[in-house]
Amino acid sequence: MLRHLLIICLALSAAIHCVADDTPVIVNLDFTNKSQSHVSRPHRVPMSIDIQACYYSDANSLVIVANGDIDASVAIYNQSDLMVDYSSAIPASFDLSCLPAGTYTVVIEHDSWVATGELYLTH
């Protein structure tokens, strides 16, 4: 009986480990208006646009999705501010397996706003 219980526990822990690997890492995005000036204005609630950037470590890919039709481009920059990948539309999917470990900046640009976030690749 103890042997069966041990086998069940091992199987469940392996299943939990497999499910945990598929969980995406959400890249936090900071939104700013392109038309913001340095003139003192009242404090307002930050922009809220429904875009998600998800990094899947098991597939080593970054997926950008939006709720609704958003006409924006996506660029990924390395630590030297060199563009390493680009997509002219959302949804966008990037294969990051060819990139070395390090910090990358994700920039999503629309006509009226820009969203930026950082992604840490550890391979």
Q: Which percentage of the chain shows pLDDT scores above 90?
A: 37
Lowest pLDDT segment from 5-19, 62-76, 109-123 = 5-19
* pLDDT above 50 for 78: yes
Q: What is the pLDDT of residue 6?
A: 47
Instruction: Give the H or E element holding residue 5.
Output: helix 2-21
Return the higher-pLDDT residue of 27 and 48. Answer: 27
Q: 23-33+47-121 belongs to which CATH class?
A: mainly beta
Q: What is the pLDDT of residue 48?
A: 60
Mean pLDDT of 62-83: 91
| CB of 107 closer than 8 Å to CB of 72 | no
* pLDDT above 60 for 28: yes
Q: What is the pLDDT of residue 37?
A: 54
Q: What is the pLDDT of residue 20?
A: 46
Q: Which residues contact 119 (CB under 8 A, 6 or more apart)?
A: 27, 53, 55, 62, 76, 103, 104, 105, 106
* pLDDT above 80 for 36: no
Q: What is the pLDDT of residue 107?
A: 95
Mean pLDDT of 14-25: 55
Counting Cα atoms < 13 Å in the Cβ hemisphere of 37 gives 3
* pLDDT above 90 for 111: no
